[in-house]
Amino acid sequence: MKLNSKIILFVIILTFSSNLFAFELHPFFKSVILPGWGELSQKNNSGYFFLSAELISWSTYFYFLEEADLNEKAAYNLAVRYAGIPIESDYPEDYFYNLKRYDNSNLEENNYLLQKAQEEYPDDINAQTAFIDKYSWDWEIDKKRFEYGDHRTNIISYEDYARTVTAAFILNRMISGLNALRINRKLKRLSANMQLNSDLQPLLFLKYSF
């Protein structure tokens, strides 16, 4: 997951949202675009809570992406230095997965590279041999392979955390939009709150008192 592309997307969203300030939107849509905007446009201080939550969510999101990138670079550097893989950037994900599982790429250990070589060059034995020689690996120190495996596991964990935060973006907009609508329409009996279930998935609860 590349951090630069996420930053560009964030800038585009902010640019698009700022252009909409020139138009008179309903408070509900203001809060959907930028949580807290709809409330603040109605001079309601609850908007500061949703705006703060949005800023914290973005900061957390980029932190998780940055940590994933740092672990990815650390794992790659370990593999180059201690397993002897070629310095390239275009590897399939299963290549990194097998680096974590096996001490080396000898056929006695696994036949992953042989299968890849046969897929790439089904009718060329010499090309298959060259492919295997180029992408073979042999971990010099077991401890470094375990360290590599920890970094690869951390990548998945941090990317999962980032995906959880994206759900918070959506829920923050939904709750802020409903709150702005409640203020605008004086629906004082409508309330909303968010909780996390046992799988850390966010759940939205709406309550209307009759």
For 35-90, the pLDDT digits (tens) are: 999 888 888 898 899 999 999 999 999 999 999 999 999 999 999 999 999 887 67
Asked whether the CA dihedral 16, 18, 24, 29 is positive or negative, the reply is positive
Q: For the chain of 210 residues, list the mean pLDDT of each consecutive stretch of 10.
A: 52 51 72 89 90 93 96 95 86 90 81 89 90 91 95 95 90 88 66 56 54
Q: Return the residue matching tokens 């070629």.
A: 86
Nearest to 82 by CA among 67, 97, 98, 104: 104
Alpha carbons 19 and 17: distance in angstroms, whole number: 5
Sequence ranges of the domains in the chain? 3-85+156-208
pLDDT of residue 210: 44
Alpha carbons 54 and 71: distance in angstroms, whole number: 26
Burial 30-51 (b: 16+ CB within 10 A, else e): bbbbbbbbbbbbeebebbebbb
Let me know: does 207 contact 195? Beta carbons within 8 Å.
Answer: no
pLDDT of residue 48: 92
Alpha carbons 113 and 91: distance in angstroms, whole number: 12
Q: pTM for this one?
A: 0.70
Let me know: does 193 contact 205? Beta carbons within 8 Å.
Answer: yes
pLDDT of residue 25: 78
pLDDT of residue 199: 58
Let me know: does 37 contact 172? Beta carbons within 8 Å.
Answer: no
